[in-house]
């Protein structure tokens, strides 16, 4: 009886670990998609408001600030800074 409980506990712990890891991979996929969108376009004149509008149209939860755009992706906060003459639309920095 104890061995059955032990195995069931081990299986439950393994399932919980797998489910928590799959959430991490999903968040990574979302950021990979964001990077793909931002690297797929270039606009030297894009400011924070243009960038925020562009990302909002693509379904992202963004808020333009003075010199950056704040992105809230499933509770993780990112700061996106328009690139200007650099390749892509913006640099992506994870804050929290």
Q: So where are the chain's domains?
A: 2-94
Record the pTM.
0.65
Residue range 25-43: average pLDDT?
77
53-81 residue pLDDT tens: 999 998 999 999 989 999 998 888 999 99
Spatial separation of the C-alpha atoms in residues 62 and 55, rounded to whole Å: 7
Q: What is the pLDDT of residue 26?
A: 42
**pLDDT top residue among 48 and 85:** 48
Sequence-ordered list of residues with C-beta below 8 angstroms from that of 12, at least 6 positions apart, any chain: none
| pLDDT at residue 84 is higher than 70 | yes
Model pLDDT, residue 20: 47
CB atoms within 10 A of CB 88: 16
């Amino acid at each position: 009886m104890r061995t059955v409980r032990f195995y069931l506990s081990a299986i439950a712990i393994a399932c919980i670990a797998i489910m928590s890891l799959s959430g991490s991979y999903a968040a990574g996929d979302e950021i990979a998609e964001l990077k793909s969108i931002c690297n797929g376009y270039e606009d030297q004149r894009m400011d924070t408001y243009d960038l925020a509008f562009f990302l909002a149209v693509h379904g992202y939860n963004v808020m333009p600030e003075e010199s950056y755009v704040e992105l809230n992706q499933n509770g993780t906060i990112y700061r996106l800074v328009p690139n200007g003459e650099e390749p892509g639309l913006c640099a992506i920095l994870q804050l929290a």
